[in-house]
A and B are shown apart, each in its own frame.
Chain A
Amino acid sequence: EAGVAQSPRYKIIEKRQSVAFWCNPISGHATLYWYQQILGQGPKLLIQFQNNGVVDDSQLPKDRFSAERLKGVDSTLKIQPAKLEDSAVYLCASSSLRGPNSPLHFGNGTRLTVT
Chain B
Amino acid sequence: AQTVTQSQPEMSVQEAETVTLSCTYDTSESDYYLFWYKQPPSRQMILVIRQEAYKQQNATENRFSVNFQKAAKSFSLKISDSQLGDAAMYFCAYNSGGGADGLTFGKGTHLIIQP
Contact = CB atoms under 8 A, between A and B. Distances in A.
Interface of A: 3, 31, 33, 40-45, 48, 55-56, 89, 91, 93, 98-100, 103-104, 106-109, 111
Contacts of A42: 4, 91, 93, 105-108
Nearest to A99: B101
Interface of B: 4, 33, 42-47, 50, 91, 93, 95, 97, 100-108
Contacts of A108: 42-44
Nearest to A95: B101
A100 B102 contact: no
A66 B57 CA distance: 42
Contact of A31 (B97, B101, B103, B104): B101
A89 B105 contact: no
A39 to B, nearest CB: 11
Contacts of B50: 100
A40 B101 contact: no
Contact of B45 (A41, A44, A106): A106
A48 B97 contact: no
Contact of B47 (A44, A45, A104, A111): A104
B105 A98 contact: no
Contacts of A107: 44
